[in-house]
Amino acid sequence: MNTLFTFGCSYTADFETGNLIPYLKYKEYRGGTYPKSWTTLLSEKIGMNIKNYGIGGTGNQSIFEQFCIHCNEINENDVVIIEWSFIHRYRISNDIIWRNISLGPLLETNNNEVHDVIIQDRTNKLYVDEVFNFINLIDEFSKSKKFKIFYWFAEEEMKERLSKDMVGIEKYIFWEKPLMGTVFDLGGITIREETKHIVGDDHFGELGHQIQSNIIYEHIKQHIN
C-alpha cells in the first residue's frame, strides 16, 4: 500500500501532536476523543497509509527541513502534500530544541526589539522566493522518485501574490477564495464555534476537517493512480 505524507504547521498537524493546550480542552469537551483530521480522512479516501509530519507553530524553514529528514521514506506512487506556512515565522536555537517564533510580543526575556526587526525583514518577497526555490528542489526530487507532490499555502497574502502563476497548475491545491473562507462557505466551523466558545481556538473543528479533506480530495483524485 502506498503512503500519503503530509508536512506543514498546525493546519496540518494532527490534534494529538498539534502541541496546543486548547486541543486538550477540546478533547475533554468531546468526551475524551478527537475527531479525525483532514490528513487521516484524506488517506482513507485515497486508500493509503498516512505519515503526518506536520508540527504546530513551524515556519517554512522547519517544514522544509522536516521534508529533508523524511525524504528517504518516500517511494514511487506515494503522495506528498506540503502546506507552506506564514513567511514571517522564524526559528532560533534555544539549546535544547528549535524554538519557533511567530507574530506578537515575545513572552520571555528575549529581546523584543530584535524580534520586531526580524519579523519586519521577513515580510519581504525574497522569503517567498526562498520557498519557491525549495519547491524547485522538491519538484525535481519528486520527478526523480516518481511520487506525486502537491502544495498549498496557509498564508493568504503569499497565495494572493502568486495566484496568477498558480491557477491551473496541478501541483498547487488552489481555492479561488481563501481556504478558511471556502471551508466556512461550505459549512465548516472552527473549534471555537463548535464548542460554543468554551474552547478558544480558531483551528478547524470536526466539520472543518471533513470539508478540507473533501476539497483536497477533489483536487488530487484526478492526478493520482
Partner 1 sequence: MNTLFTFGCSYTQGFNRSENNNFYRRFKEYRNGNLPKDWPTLLSEKLGFELKNYGEDASGNNQIFQEICSRCDEFNDGDIVIVGWTFIDRYRWVDYENNTWKKHGSGHIDENYITKSTHEEIVYNRTHPFYIEEIYNYEKIIDELSFNKKFKVYYWSAAENSIITNIPTEKLRKIKKYILSDQINLENNNLRQIITKKSGLTINEETNGFIPDDHLGESGHKVQSELFYKHIIN
| 30 contacts: CB under 8 Å, gap ≥ 6 | none
The torsion angles phi and psi of 135, rounded to 5 degrees, stand at -60, -40
Please identify, using beta-carbon distances, which residue of 157 and 193 lies nearer to partner 1. Answer: 157
- Burial of residue 8 (number of CB atoms within 10 Å: 0-12, 13-18, 19+): buried
Asked if residue 97 lies in contact with residue 22, where contact means CB atoms within 8 angstroms, the answer is no
Please identify, using beta-carbon distances, which residue of 97 and 222 lies nearer to partner 1. Answer: 97
Please identify, using beta-carbon distances, which residue of 15 and 64 lies nearer to partner 1. Answer: 64
- Burial of residue 32 (number of CB atoms within 10 Å: 0-12, 13-18, 19+): exposed
Asked if residue 53 lies in contact with residue 66, where contact means CB atoms within 8 angstroms, the answer is yes
Q: Nearest approach, Cβ of 73 to partner 1 (angstroms)? A: 10
Q: Which of 103, 114, 167, 198 binds partner 1 (CB under 8 A)?
A: 114
162 binds partner 1 (CB under 8 A): no
Binding part of the chain for partner 1, among 21-29, 42-50, 89-97, 173-181 by CB under 8 A, reads 89-97
Give the binding site for partner 1 (CB under 8 A): 65, 67-69, 71-72, 92-93, 95, 98, 111, 113-114, 117-118, 121, 124-127, 130, 133-134, 136-138, 140-141, 144-145
